[in-house]
Structure 1
Amino acid sequence: MRASELFGARTVKRIRNVLATVWLLLTLGATHAAPAAQPPALVSILDGEAALLRDSGRFGAAEGVRLAAGDLLETGPQTRLLRLEFTDGVIVDLGPSTRAFVAPRLGTRGQAVAAHVYVLRGWFKLIQPAGGAPVPAGVLTPAYALGEPAGQQVAAVDADGGFQLFCEAGAVALQDRAARPVPPPVRLKAGEFFARRGSGKAAVAPRPTPAFIQSVPRSFLDPLPTRAALFKGREVAPRRLGDLAYADAAPWLAAEPVLRSHFATRWRALARRPDFRAGLVEHMREHPEWDRVVFPEKYRPKPPAQAPAAPPRPAGVRTY
């Protein structure tokens, strides 16, 4: 029996129209589907050792590893250079003993702050290749935000809050992230040097100090070619070294408030691990956001107080 005889010619025609529409939608969806988000950066040069903190693991960074937004990098004291090449052409070189957060998206006072990297401490060199399209984002540090970068800038972020930057070429705008009211950005041009020691007053000089020049990583002095094209079409997986330990996470857990809140959410599940929990408890003063995670019972609503029971009436007393 034909389908038209079983359901009727009109019904069959409607079914065919519906199926044709569904097929068309599926075809268009397959043809015009949004491409998968491309990793924002690639490790193109690694001279020395570096660790990659991703999810709940610690990995060994390597040339060709593609980095996702949110990855954390840590270079060793003897590391000479770790180069990150971003998809928009921006290059960030990291020096020894440096901690960096790749492509952070952090909400600050109701606004999303975007950057290529957040450097918690250590050395970095920001390079905007000649002829590249202007990029609004740059580098975040605990004290300053580098915006509107052009040319090359070399900077050192100290653990005590100090910050030094040499505008080697081009120009850059430095925005104080802590001062209130928000001051206008400090704009540096080629050759100028900016420095602030700890919580002291910032100063701009026409040239860097000899001490700064002597301390700049040697690998930052020589021009290096881009190498991202060498890894096109190749996937390099980082080697897992072990679980993320509290000691690995501690510098980020004790960072500025917006970062502490971010990681209290991101690493919340790690509080169930006895070793990680022990570190949290021991250093709770440095990251009080975790108190609610580790000791949720302290924050549960207390049961309503019950009214005291009426005292018993003496024998023989009548009430009306």
Structure 2
Amino acid sequence: MRGLILAATIAASCSVAAAEVPSTLTILEGEALIVRGSGRVHAAEGVRLSPGDIVETGASTFAQVELSDQSVVQFGPSTRVMINGSTAKSKPERWLYLMEGWMKMSGAKRDAASGPPFDLRAPLFEIPANPGVVVLRATPGELNLFVERGDARLAERHPGAQPTMVSLRAGDYYRRKAPARGSVNPGPMQAFLGDMPRFFRDSLPLRIDRYRDHPVQPKEAPDFAYADVEAWLKAEPSVRRPLMQRWRGKAREQAFRTALIANLSAHPEWDPILFPEKYKPKEPPAPPRGTVAVTRPAPAASTASP
């Protein structure tokens, strides 16, 4: 059954309008997994990415994804990122949500035929789409970012407050440790450059044409446990709530269900799925014993002439 569901999901991801080339994984060095629907598949060059996919790279992996808005993102080791997980239809939008890891994002000149651009979001920041190039390393509590080319605008996110906008120029290095505000320095920090994945230093070729008409179907991978996706289940509401619909079948797995219940305060939207009986309409209380229900006769219809 799972194989049939996976095949249907893959087929749906391939039925994309002819005017748009789907986001595609075009370079992969090392191993990576894709959390798709309620299962996982092995990443491979040529695999198309569907809305809601979560890409997870290995400890020594490099991956390049050519997005459907013609921009390019590269992922370094131990990186976890969601591709456009929103289900909202009222406002067309596309975004990447970086939970943690290394990323290099190279923008492209806007083309109306390619649809809305991809913004970058994370627990600490948001970066609107732009044609520049930024390299960054992020965790839920820290961000280090270097503007390699062009300009960039970054919104610092603060709990319970409006974001703070920061303007960055080519050559700026930005660093922030929550909850403090970030700081900007000219030129990259040596420690940051020393840790940066070597592939980020090169200009790699675009390879989308190789897979434009020949998408690769991914192979099934071992299922995921609660611990594998815990960070996503405990993410901000706009990220985690759509996952509830994709993963609701996991609530029938005993180990996953037990972990959901133990952490329910972090994702309370799972309560109706775990305990549906609490949300059923309540029946009216029965009358006390010994009472007799009295039925009053209906009043007779009047026959008087007007």
Bin the TM-score by the shorter chain: 0.7 to 0.9
State whether structure 2 residue 50 is matched by structure 1 residue 68.
yes
3-state SS of paired residue (2:203)? coil
Percent identity over the alignment?
37
**Out of 250, 253, 278, which is 2:258 matched to?**
278
Moved more, 91-100 or 249-258: 249-258
State whether structure 2 residue 104 is matched by structure 1 residue 125.
yes
Task: Report what 1:12 is aligned to.
Answer: none
State whether structure 2 residue 134 is matched by structure 1 residue 153.
yes
> Where do residues 138-217 of structure 1 align in structure 2 (5 Å cutoff)?
138-159=119-140, 161-178=141-158, 181-183=161-163, 185-217=165-197
> Where do residues 17-32 of structure 1 align in structure 2 (5 Å cutoff)?
none
Deviations 1:230-280 (A, max 9, x none): 223212110101334323332211111222222122322221233322332
Unaligned runs of at least 5 residues, structure 2: 1-15, 292-306
**Out of 229, 232, 235, which is 1:252 matched to?**
232
RMSD: 2.8
Deviation at 1:306, TM superposition (A): 6.1
Aligned partners of 2:21 and 2:265: how far apart in 1? 36
Tell me if the contact between 1:40 and 1:103 (Cα under 8 Å) persists in the aligned partners. no
3-state SS of paired residue (2:128)? strand
Tell me if the contact between 1:39 and 1:68 (Cα under 8 Å) persists in the aligned partners. no
The normalised TM-score by structure 2 is 0.79
Aligned partners of 1:116 and 1:218: how far apart in 2? 26
**Out of 29, 32, 39, which is 1:57 matched to?**
39
Aligned partners of 2:117 and 2:104: how far apart in 1? 17
Aligned partners of 2:143 and 2:281: how far apart in 1? 45
Aligned partners of 1:113 and 1:259: how far apart in 2? 16
Aligned partners of 1:51 and 1:150: how far apart in 2? 28
Tell me if the contact between 2:96 and 2:118 (Cα under 8 Å) persists in the aligned partners. no
Cα distance change on mapping 1:278 and 1:125 into 2, 3 Å:
same
Aligned partners of 2:258 and 2:161: how far apart in 1? 40
3-state SS of paired residue (1:267)? helix
> Where do residues 67-106 of structure 1 align in structure 2 (5 Å cutoff)?
67-79=49-61, 81-105=62-86
Structure number, greater radius of gyration: 1
Aligned partners of 2:90 and 2:138: how far apart in 1? 24
Letter in 2 for 1:126: M
Cα distance change on mapping 1:220 and 1:141 into 2, 3 Å:
same
Task: Report what 1:20 is aligned to.
Answer: none
Cα distance change on mapping 1:215 and 1:112 into 2, 3 Å:
farther
Tell me if the contact between 2:150 and 2:169 (Cα under 8 Å) persists in the aligned partners. yes
Cα distance change on mapping 1:166 and 1:133 into 2, 3 Å:
farther
3-state SS of paired residue (2:162)? coil
Aligned partners of 1:307 and 1:209: how far apart in 2? 77
Deviation at 1:184, TM superposition (A): 5.2
Aligned partners of 1:136 and 1:37: how far apart in 2? 15
Cα distance change on mapping 1:183 and 1:120 into 2, 3 Å:
closer
Cα distance change on mapping 1:39 and 1:103 into 2, 3 Å:
farther
Aligned partners of 1:228 and 1:111: how far apart in 2? 30
Aligned partners of 2:21 and 2:52: how far apart in 1? 11
Letter in 2 for 1:215: D
> Where do residues 209-248 of structure 1 align in structure 2 (5 Å cutoff)?
209-248=189-228
The normalised TM-score by structure 1 is 0.76
**Out of 19, 41, 46, which is 2:23 matched to?**
41
Letter in 2 for 1:85: E
Tell me if the contact between 2:142 and 2:176 (Cα under 8 Å) persists in the aligned partners. yes
Task: Report what 2:267 is aligned to.
Answer: 287
Tell me if the contact between 1:162 and 1:199 (Cα under 8 Å) persists in the aligned partners. no
Tell me if the contact between 1:41 and 1:87 (Cα under 8 Å) persists in the aligned partners. yes
Cα distance change on mapping 1:88 and 1:257 into 2, 3 Å:
closer
